Each structure stands twice: as C-alpha cells, then as structure tokens.
Amino acid sequence: MNDNNKRKRIGKKAAALFLVLPCGNFGELSTRSLCHCCVVISQRCHRIAFFRLALTQISGTDFHRYFRNAVLAACLLFSGICITPVMKTEAKAPLVICIDPGHGGSNEGALYNGLKEKDLTLQIATAMYQELSLYDGVTVVMTRTADVDLTLAQRAQIAAGAGADFLYSIHLNASPSHNLFGSEVWVSGYGNHYAKGMSFGNIALEQLATDVGVYPRGVKTKLKANGNGDYYGVINHARLLGVTAAIIEHCHMDEAHDNDFYRREGALEKLGKADATAVAKYYGLSSAALGVDYGRYQYVQYPNAKTPKMQDMTDPEVSQIELISYDKSTKKVLLNAKAEDAQSRIIYYSFSADGGLTWSGLYGWMPVGEGYIEFTLPDHATGEICVRVHNEYDRFTESNHIFLS
C-alpha cells in the first residue's frame, strides 16, 4: 500500500470513530476550535492525554487533506470530554471591524525572495477589506491604504477612534532557522480580550487551512517579560484603548512548505478572503451579495481569562519512541511514538539517525491513533535513532535513543 493510500485509510478509520462518539451534534462546529478546547479543558482538569500517534512525513497541506477528521476524533477520544457548541458572538450594532496591514513605509517587515512583507500585507488586507465589505451590517476601516509609516500606538488609536470591535493586524512570518512553516494567531492574555481572541483565532486557523491549505501552528498569547501587559505592541495598545486585537501570521515567507501560499497568482487575495470569512463566521454575518449566512454557525467560546494567560515557557514533558520494525534491505524504519505536553499542543516532530548530530526537517505531528513514524535511513546514518517533538511555542524535547542492529 502506498503512503497516500495509507494516510487516507488512517484518516477514514479515525473519522469513523468520530461519527460514533456520544458528544452531541456539532454541526458546523470548528474542528480546530474543538481540538484546542479539548486540550485546554484537559489541562484545567489536570488530565494529560497520552497520544500514541500515527505520524508520517507529510506537509501541512496533506494534513488537512487527509487528517482533519482524524485530529478531531483523537482529541475528543483522549480528552474524554463532551463539549457543547455555542452560537455566534453577539456583535455591537453597527459592527465596526478595523484591518491593519502590518509594517509600511520605512518598516519593511520580513524580506525574502525579493519580496517585502509590508507590500504583501497590504494586498492581503485589501482583499480582506473588499470581501468583508460585502457582508450586511458591518463597517470596515483600514489603518493604512498606502505605503506609509504608522506606529503601533497609532494603529490602535485608529481602531479605537472608529469604534472598532476588533482589530486584525495582518502579517507574514519568517524564522531565524528558516525551517518553520504554517500559520498562527497571537492574541491578548487578558480578560475578555483573551476569550474573543482565542475564539476567533481558532476559526481563522481552520479557515486558512481549509481554504488555502496552510498548516495551523496555534492560537497563542505572550506577555511582557515583567508580566505587565501583552508583549506585542499593537495588541497591548489596542487592549488599553478597549479594543480587542489579534495578529494573524499567515505563513512563513522563508520556508518551502509555504511558498505557494503567498507567491502563486491570486494567493494573497485568497488569504484575505479566508480572513474575511473567519470574521463573518465569528460574528454570524450574512451577505446577500455572496449568498451566505453564518447566523447559525457554531464554535467553541473560550472563557474570559481570570488571570493573565502567559506563554508556555516549558518543554514538552514526554517524548518516547520504540522500534516497531527495521528493514535492512530498504533501510525503512518504523517507530511508535508518544508525546505529552500539559501546556501547549505538539505541532512538529523531527528525527535523527546519527544520535542527534544532525536532524531532519520538521514534519506535522498528527494524533490519529496508530502510533507510527516511518522514514528511510539517510546515507550518513549511524543507526542511533531519536526524535524531537516541538510544541506551539517552538520548544522541544528529545526522546530516548534506540539502536538498530
């Protein structure tokens, strides 16, 4: 059986498990929201799920093609929790949304492949503005429509001055290691801003995954080093002015997985439209022009943060592997893997075949129930195998080492 058929088979088996779970009718409930909510509730109940995971070397696009239902099934099964979906957030009337194209002017943002982040964010934001303006009962404003300098405080002031209910700051990402891929959303760690940000963020990541194929890296918070305020300036300034803000990092400009998501023709417009759809789903908007009505869209509503939600500053607690098989003729290695992190979700894994001297690229971490990592030994392999698992905050833990005979 080839790899693609194997992935489809695993996905279908896990999806079948989901269909018989006695957890109520989820309808249009967000898959990504459910996955995150299961983990969050498990943490709050001091229950840690051990995942025997079926892992394969696949990209973020493949993840959503074959394993979307499987992830949901696994999260629900291992958390042991039934979640009741809730209806849309009640928006203020009239609803005002502010879109902030990140960077601009002398602040160019990330630079890669001859492209400037400030130009790309403006194109995404413009597409988001145009699409969201087609919905009924919503006023949309932008912090900039040209290549101009704006401070983070000015961006928040524009949103507050317009009476915005939500400020969406549009960005693309890059990493020092140039090996991260996927989308992520940063939100406030405070009170109702946290609740709104987390609830929207999960919808946004699912929409980007479904419409575009970007791998989801998570919805996250980060506080200042002294714990007094949100780390990201636009989020903190907006919160102090009474406006909820979220930073949407759409993909990584410096990693091959994500190249097509911003470089191919029409890609930026697609990202902007996905953002607009996420906003429409969050607020339950309808559009006569588009022929859609999200008034009955359901998703998991996060609770307010009673105390500020800090970022995860710990490594995953558990990373364990055991050898299932090794075929000397083909150099194929099959491992069973287990990971645990009480604070944040595992999103990547990498492997080493020389005892940790060199490492593979990152692969998506998929909890689908069969527990396999499969790879072919590289030419430089010494036969000493280990695995690293990486969480949403890019912290990792190395597994035990096993030796091939």
DSSP secondary structure letters along 306-335: SS--PPP-S--SEEEEEEEEEETTTTEEEE
Q: Is the dihedral of CA 237, 167, 347, 253 positive or negative?
A: negative
| Rounded CA separation 70/130 (Å) | 35
State the angle between helix axes of 191-211 and 31-44 in degrees (0 to 180), rounded to the nearest 10.
140
pLDDT tens, N- to C-terminus, the chain (405 residues): 444 444 434 333 333 333 333 333 333 334 333 433 343 333 333 223 333 333 333 344 344 433 443 444 344 333 333 334 555 555 556 899 999 999 999 999 999 989 999 999 999 999 999 999 999 999 999 999 999 999 999 999 999 999 999 999 999 999 999 999 999 999 999 999 999 999 999 999 999 999 999 999 999 999 999 989 999 999 999 999 999 999 999 999 999 989 999 999 999 999 999 999 999 999 999 999 999 999 999 999 999 999 999 999 999 999 999 999 999 999 999 999 999 999 999 999 999 999 999 999 999 987 543 468 999 999 999 999 999 999 999 999 999 999 997
| Rounded CA separation 162/168 (Å) | 14
- Amino acid identity of residue 356, one-letter, is G
* 256 SS3 class: helix
| Rounded CA separation 200/66 (Å) | 24
Which domains, and CATH codes, for the chain?
Answer: 95-293 (3.40.630.40), 318-403 (2.60.40.10)
DSSP secondary structure letters along 189-230: -SHHHHHHHHHHHHHHHHHHHHHT-PPEEEEEE-B-TTSSSB
| Rounded CA separation 172/300 (Å) | 26
Q: What is the pLDDT of residues 22-80, one digit of tens each?
A: 333 333 334 333 433 343 333 333 223 333 333 333 344 344 433 443 444 344 333 33
DSSP secondary structure letters along 279-309: HHHHHT-EETTTTEE-TT--BPPPPPBSS--
| Rounded CA separation 166/88 (Å) | 15
User: The tokens of 202 are what?
Assistant: 């999960």
